[in-house]
Each structure stands twice: as C-alpha cells, then as structure tokens.
Amino acid sequence: MQISPDSQIVFTLPLGPLGDWGVSATIVNTWIVMAVLTVGGRIATWGIGPSAPVSRWRIGVELVIEMIRTHIREIGGGDPGRYLPFVGTLFLFTLTSNVLGVIPGFMSPTGALSTTVALALCVLVAVPIYGIVDDGLLGYLRHYFQPTPLMAPFNVIGELSRTIALAVRLYGNVMSGTVVVAVLLAVVPFFFPVLLQLLGLLTGVVQAYIIAVLAMVYIASASGGEPGAAENQTPSKETGA
Amino acid sequence: MDALTLIATVSIVTAGLTIAIGSIGPSLGESRAAAQALQAIAQQPDEANTITRTLFVSLAMIESTAIYCFVVAMILLFANPFWNWAIEAAAPGAGG
C-alpha cells in the first residue's frame, strides 16, 4: 500500500542524454493545483479596475486577500504588501491542495514529503532574505547572538529544527488523513470514512493557516519586529490600509 | 521464531506502542493550552480573535510530536524497509 504520491509514477519523459524522468503523481497533482489557482485567479480578476466589483468571484478573492493582509499586519507590523506574495502563496497553495484532496483520484501534493520539504526550504531561505533586506547582513547576523552570544548555536539549531518541523507537520497531517481514510475503507465501508474525510478537510484548512502564520512569525522575528508589534503602532504610521 | 516472524511481530507491537504512548503527552499539553485560552477569553472577551489565533498556532506546534509518532507508526506498518528487505531475502529461498 502506497502512503505517498511520490512513489507512483504517472508517465515517463525521455530526456535524451539525461536519461528517463519518471513524472510522479506528486508533480502531476501539483500541476493540477497550479492550473486551478491560475485559472481561478484569472477568471476572478477579469475586467479589474478602480470601480466597485460586480462579480461574486472578485468579491470573494478580494475578501481572501484582505483577510490575509489583516493577519500579516497583525503579526508582523508594517506594510503587508512586502510579505503578501510569499505568505499568501503558501496559504493558497496549501489550502487548495488540501481541500481538493476529497476529490476521488486526486492525491494532495502536500501529502508527499517532497512538496512539504520544498515549502519548508522556501521558508528557510525567505527568512534570511527578508531579514537582510530589513536590517542588513550584520544586523541580521546579530539576531543569532541575542539574548547572549552563548545562545548562538542553539538559535542556529532551532532554525534548522523548526524548518524540519514545518515540513513534517504538514506532511504528517495530510498523509495521515488520507491513509486513515484508506484503511477505514477496508474495514467499515461508508459511514466512518466520510466522517474522517470531513476531519481531513478541517485539518487541511487549519494546517494551511498554520504554515502561513508560522512563516510570517519566523520572518517577523528575524526582521527585528515582535509578533503583535503592529497593534502597538499608531494608525498614522501606515500610509495605506 | 525465524527472522521474518520476528520482524513482523516487533514492527506491529512497536507501531501500536508508538502511537499509544506518543499521543498521551500532546493531548495533555493541548488540553492545558485550550483551558488557558478559554480562561483568557473569559477575562478579556475583546481580544478573543488574537487569543483564538494564538491558540490555533500553539495547538499546531504541540500537535507536531503526536504527528511524528503517527508517521513512525505508519512507516512501520506500510512502508517498513526491514520487512521489504526480509521479503526479498526470503523470496529466492522459497521459490528455489
């Protein structure tokens, strides 16, 4: 029994001198998620302009974007537009991939360790990039020596371990949801698998929120701001909502 | 008891024990976190949104250990490398 879409090869691409590349189900399902997000976004922003939105799709998209911006502002402080592409993409990709998992035949790419490790590596790389852009290289490196230089190795180890935790948390939640439903299908045919699919939907949405919020918290803690710092700032400091 | 039976028995028993013992700690931790969050909301209902968001983030972090144990149990049951190796080692002997 396969517990991960990584081990299922859908088709093989002959790459000439590089040999054959077996395209796994993870990659194919990631393409499906990308297509859903891109086409949905394009349809939702059709005829976008300064006038009031006339379609429900645009209102829905604006609602989601505004919610993400509000949360980013509350966690990190400052202008949410700098972090919105990264954190918003993390949230929307994980959300779409987990919610589409209830469709038969679709295997969530986030249920494969390869995808979640890739997302965690993106967060691992993004935190120093945002930190260096904000504070400069020396300012960012000084963060590792807070509160005392003795803590420097623990801060580095902590950074690596929270990246691993980010990957395994998302992978474990999504994979366990699908595997438990598959196991129950062999034992109790209809009622309990449906209930566990519901639970899988709930944990999928919660995990999407968690990974986005944690990425924002890590970026905010490395950029010198504290979580919740924005709530102490006066509203006049922000130029735009 | 030959090697095949031993590997199967130990894997099954370990998988059960891993998830059984591994889920005790996170459950206790999560219940404490939820209780404190409820008390905080009762004391400051205006901050319910921030408290709820912080509660969900904390619950996800605490849940991680239980998820690690669950992943180990799943690997032992469904993707066990020792079982696969033992099956491959026993196959030529049985067919030959």
Half-sphere exposure of A204 (CA within 13 A, CB side): 26
Q: Using one digit for the tens of pLDDT, what is the confidence trace for A6-31?
A: 777 777 777 777 777 888 889 999 99
Which pLDDT does position A66 carry in this prediction? Answer: 93
The pLDDT value recorded for residue A229 is 47
Across the range A209-224, mean pLDDT stands at 87
Query: What confidence tier does B94 reach under pLDDT thresholds 50, 70, 90?
Result: low
Query: By percentage, how much of chain B surpasses pLDDT 90?
Result: 48
List chain B residues with CB under 8 Å of A209: 56
Measured in angstroms, the CA of B64 and the nearest CA of chain A are apart by: 6
A157-167 residue pLDDT tens: 888 988 998 99
CA distance A87 to A83: 6
Judging contacts by C-beta atoms under 8 Å, the chain B residues touching residue A214 are 57, 60
Number of CB pairs, chain A paired with chain B, less than 8 A apart: 50
pLDDT score at A53: 66
Chain B residues near residue A1 by CB distance under 8 angstroms? 78
Phi, psi of A45 (to 5 degrees): -100, 20
* CA-based nearest residue in chain B for residue A178: B74
Out of B53, B70, B78, closest to residue A172 by CB:
B70
Report all structural domains of chain B as residue ranges with CATH numbers, in order of start.
Answer: 22-82 (1.20.20.10)
CB atoms within 10 A of CB B39: 11
Q: Which residue has the higher pLDDT, A89 or A227?
A: A89
Whether residue B56 and residue A210 make contact (CB cut-off 8 A), yes or no, is yes
Whether residue A232 has pLDDT greater than 60 = no
Amino acid at A233: Q
Within 8 A of B53 by CB-CB distance, chain A residues are: 71, 74, 213
Give how far B60 is from chain A: nearest CA, Å: 7
Residue A1's pLDDT is 64
DSSP string, chain B: --HHHHHHHHHHHHHHHHHHHHTHHHHHHHHHHHHHHHHHHHH-GGGHHHHHHHHHHHHHHHHHHHHHHHHHHHHHHHS-HHHHHHHHHHHHHHH-
How far is the alpha carbon of B59 from chain A, nearest alpha carbon, in Å? 10
The pLDDT-based confidence of A224 (bands split at 50, 70, 90) is low
Nearest chain B CA: its distance from A173 CA (Å): 7
Contact assignment for B67 to A176 by CB distance below 8 Å: yes
3-class DSSP state for residue A83? coil
Tens digits of residue pLDDT in A43-89: 887 777 777 767 787 888 889 999 999 989 888 767 888 899 999 99
